Amino acid sequence: MSTKKVITIASLVLILSIIVEVLFVHPHAEFWWHEVIGFDMIFGFLGCLLLIVGAKTFGKEFVQRPEDYYAGGEEDHD
For the stretch 8-32, pLDDT in tens is 999 999 899 889 888 887 677 788 8
What percent of the chain lies above the pLDDT cut of 70? 90
Q: Terminal CA-to-CA distance of the chain, rounded, Å?
A: 50
Q: Quick check: is 71 in a domain?
A: no
How far from the centroid of its chain's Cα atoms is residue 4's Cα?
18
Residue 31: the pLDDT is 86
Q: Spell out the residues 6+ positions from residue 37 whose beta carbon is closer than 8 angstroms to its own.
A: 18, 21, 22, 25
Q: Spell out the residues 6+ positions from residue 18 whose beta carbon is closer than 8 angstroms to its own.
A: 37, 38, 41
Task: Look at the chain and report how many structural domains it folds into.
Answer: 1
For residue 78, pLDDT beyond 60 = no
Q: Quick check: is 18 in a domain?
A: yes
38-75 per-position pLDDT tens digit = 888 889 999 999 999 999 999 998 888 888 878 765 56
Q: Quick check: is 78 in a domain?
A: no
Q: Quick check: is 26 in a domain?
A: yes
Residue 46's domain comprises 3-63
